[in-house]
């Protein structure tokens, strides 16, 4: 069971819903990130060691990930109330983070994630300096999804968002979380 201090302000890492599903099943244990438009001058940073995974939905992501283990195309789960509510199902702790600037090192990670090669190449090459950040994760499934009303603060091209809630409430959500993978 993961633990957070009572004064911890809950944060979430925004990731494609298909990738969240792969993390939940243990098919994937890492996240690769270059950074979004709104990441600031320093670009993407692994700012938090513990965080919820916030699933993002957009139709094109199913074309940018590999088929599932049975060779079937991945599918998006139905959004709750047309996207008006978000179901947070996962919590993660970083086991290790690294910035990779060697293409061969990035290519060696191919069996460990579901993104197609073109997506990783685009992320690696984007911006002024080639490279990509990777985090290996320990992922936990919440006993019950945390259902949040969507709000303006959740949008935008950024990786990290703050979530509502107090330390005791968040700790209670994590109490019965189960490690996956």
Any idea where the domains of the chain sit in the sequence?
Answer: 11-179
Indicate whether 130 pLDDT > 80.
Answer: yes
Taking alpha carbons only, the member of 28, 15, 50, 24 closest to residue 123 is 15
Tell me, which fold does domain 11-179 have in CATH? 2.30.130
Q: Which of 48-52, 79-83, 107-111 has the lowest mean pLDDT?
A: 79-83
Indicate whether 19 pLDDT > 90.
Answer: yes
pLDDT confidence band for 39 (50 / 70 / 90): low
- pLDDT for the residue 5: 78
CA 65-83-45 angle, to 5 degrees, is: 55
- pLDDT for the residue 47: 87
Indicate whether 102 pLDDT > 70.
Answer: yes
């Amino acid at each position: 069971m993961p633990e957070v201090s009572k004064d911890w302000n809950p944060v979430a890492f925004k990731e494609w819903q298909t990738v969240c599903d792969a993390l939940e099943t243990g098919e994937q244990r890492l996240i690769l990130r270059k950074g979004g438009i709104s990441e600031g001058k320093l670009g993407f940073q692994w700012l938090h060691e513990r965080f919820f995974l916030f699933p993002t939905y957009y139709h094109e992501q199913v074309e940018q990930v590999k088929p599932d283990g049975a060779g079937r195309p991945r599918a998006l789960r139905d959004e709750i109330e047309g996207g008006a509510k978000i179901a947070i199902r996962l919590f993660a702790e970083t086991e290790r983070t690294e910035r990779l600037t060697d293409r061969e090192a990035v290519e060696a990670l191919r069996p460990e994630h579901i993104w197609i090669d073109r997506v990783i190449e685009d992320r690696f090459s984007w911006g002024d300096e080639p490279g990509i950040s990777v985090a290996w994760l320990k992922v936990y499934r919440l006993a019950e999804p945390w259902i949040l009303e969507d709000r303006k603060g959740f949008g935008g091209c950024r990786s990290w968002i703050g979530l509502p809630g107090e330390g005791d409430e968040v700790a209670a959500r994590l109490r019965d979380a189960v490690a996956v993978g």
